[in-house]
Structure 1
C-alpha cells in the first residue's frame, strides 16, 4: 500500500497549535520554536498564518488559541486567559503594581496569569509557586479557603521553605495565621525582601483562587487599594463562573 502524501507545512502548523493548546499560559514565539524544534523564521511565518486564520491570537508576550480553534474544541485555559488578563491589567494600572491570578487545581496552587503596567515592579517568581504558597499572599488566601482535608494533604506534600527572615516556616504558626478569619491576605517581605503583596479570594463556586498585587514594602496601603482588589476579585469571579470555563 502506498504512503499517503503529507504536507509538511500543515504538520508543522499543527505542532504549533498543539504546543499552544497544551500550555497553561501564554507562549512566546521563541519558546514555541524550541518546543516544536522548528526554525524561528518558519515559526514566525506559520504563527502569522495561524493568527490571520483565527486559530491563534497574539497577545502581549506570546500566543493563545484563537476563536477559530476554541470554537472547534472544548473551552480551554487560553480562553480563560483572554477574559481575565484585561481585569488584571486594569488593576495593575490602577494600583501601580504587578497583579497575579492564582488557583488551586490538581492538588497544587498554580499561578494562572500575571499583568503589569509599564512602571510596575514585578516579583521574580524564582521559586515555584506550588513550593512557596506559604510565603505569598495569594497562596495563603487559597490555603485559607481549602477544607481541612485539602489543606492537610497540601501541607503534607510541601515543606515551608525559609525564603526570607520573615517567612513563616512553622506549620503551627501558619495554621494559626490561616485561622485568623481575615478577608484580605498579605505577605510582608515573606517571599522577597523589599516587596509586599496583598491578595483576596475570588468569589466563585467553580474554583478556589485569589487575585493579588505586589507593591514596594515602603508604600503604605490605603483602603482604596483594598477596595480595588476586591472589585477585581468580583469581576474575575463573574468571568470565571459563567459555566463556560472552569479550571
Structure 2
C-alpha cells in the first residue's frame, strides 16, 4: 500500500508539470528519497503510466486513458443526477438517448419503484418507429439517413397503434416541426404514453423523453413543457456531456 501511495504521489506531481520534470525535482517535491523515486519512476514508465524523454518525465498513455475514463464517468454521473432531479420534479421517468453510429442508444434512465420506466420488451434499436425516443431521433436526421435506418430496421407492428409502414412514418417525421416534442400513445407499449424533446448539438442527434401510464395521459403535455423548460435552462452543461 505504501508503494502505491508513493507512486500516486509521483503521478500527481508529474501531472502538475506540463513540460515534464526530472527525477530529482519529482523526488524533492514529493518528499521521496531519490533511490525510491528512481525505482518507482522506472516502474511507472515500464507500465505505461509515465514516459521519459531527454531526462524528463511526462504522463504516459495509460495515465491519459485513466484520466479520459474518469472524465467520462463524471459526465455520466452529471447526466444521471440531472435526470434524477427532473424525474422527481416532474413525477415521471426521464430518459436520455442519442443516435450514434447509425443506432438508437438509450444512454441513461431515471425512474423510481413508483414511476417505472417502460420495459424494453422489443429492442429499442429495432423499433425506433414505434416509440417517441426513436421518432424524435429520426426526425433530426436527413432524409437519406432516415431511409438508411428504415432499410435496416423497417417498420413492423409492435402494438395495434403502431404506424403501419415506412412511408407513413416518413410522412409523420416530415411534418414534425424543428425542435418541437414528439408524442406517441401506446405505439410501443400498451398502457403507456410518451413524449420526447429533440436536442441537437453539432451533428449529434439526442433527446430527453418522459413516459406516463395511459390513465395519466392528460398530464403528458404539461409534463413535457416542464421538461422543455428544465432542459432549456441546463442545455449548456448537457451539451458538454452529449457524447458520453
Paired residues, number: 180
Instruction: Say if 1:166 and 1:69 are closer, same or farther in 2 by CA, change over 3 A.
Output: farther
Runs of 4+, deviation exceeding 4 Å? 68-71, 74-77
Q: Is the 8 A contact 2:93 2:109 kept in 1?
A: yes
Instruction: Say if 1:134 and 1:232 are closer, same or farther in 2 by CA, change over 3 A.
Output: farther
Asked if residue 110 in structure 1 is aligned to residue 105 in structure 2, the reply is yes
CA distance in 2 between counterparts of 1:72 and 1:87 reads: 23
CA distance in 2 between counterparts of 1:87 and 1:69 reads: 27
Residue 118 of structure 1 and its aligned partner are, at CA, apart by 4.0
Residue 153 of structure 1 and its aligned partner are, at CA, apart by 1.1
- Give the aligned CA root-mean-square deviation in angstroms: 2.5
CA distance in 1 between counterparts of 2:69 and 2:203 reads: 17
Residue 241 of structure 1 and its aligned partner are, at CA, apart by 2.2
Deviates more, 1:229-238 or 1:93-102: 229-238
Instruction: Say if 1:70 and 1:227 are closer, same or farther in 2 by CA, change over 3 A.
Output: farther
The aligned residue for residue 143 of structure 1 is 138
Asked if residue 237 in structure 1 is aligned to residue 235 in structure 2, the reply is yes
Q: 213, 216, 219: which is aligned to 2:210?
A: 213
Residue 215 of structure 1 and its aligned partner are, at CA, apart by 0.1
Residue 240 of structure 1 and its aligned partner are, at CA, apart by 3.5
| Structure of greater Rg | 2
The alignment's TM-score, normalised by the length of structure 2, stands at: 0.66
Counterparts of 1:1-247 in structure 2, within 5 Å, are 72-73=67-68, 77-182=72-177, 183-205=180-202, 207-219=204-216, 220-221=218-219, 223-234=221-232, 237-242=235-240, 246-247=243-244
CA distance in 1 between counterparts of 2:150 and 2:166 reads: 8
For structure 1, list consecutive stretches of 5 or more residues without a partner in the other structure: 1-9, 11-67
Q: Is the 8 A contact 2:196 2:207 kept in 1?
A: yes
Instruction: Say if 1:172 and 1:236 are closer, same or farther in 2 by CA, change over 3 A.
Output: farther
Residue 73 of structure 1 and its aligned partner are, at CA, apart by 2.6
Instruction: Say if 1:200 and 1:169 are closer, same or farther in 2 by CA, change over 3 A.
Output: same
SS at match of 2:201: coil
SS at match of 1:120: coil
For structure 2, list consecutive stretches of 5 or more residues without a partner in the other structure: 5-62
Structure with the higher helix share, 1 or 2: 2
CA deviation profile, 1:182-206 (whole Å, cap 9, x unmatched): 4111110001100010111114226
CA deviation profile, 1:20-70 (whole Å, cap 9, x unmatched): xxxxxxxxxxxxxxxxxxxxxxxxxxxxxxxxxxxxxxxxxxxxxxxx997
CA distance in 1 between counterparts of 2:95 and 2:78 reads: 14
Residue 148 of structure 1 and its aligned partner are, at CA, apart by 1.4
Q: Is the 8 A contact 2:156 2:165 kept in 1?
A: no
The alignment's TM-score, normalised by the length of structure 1, stands at: 0.65
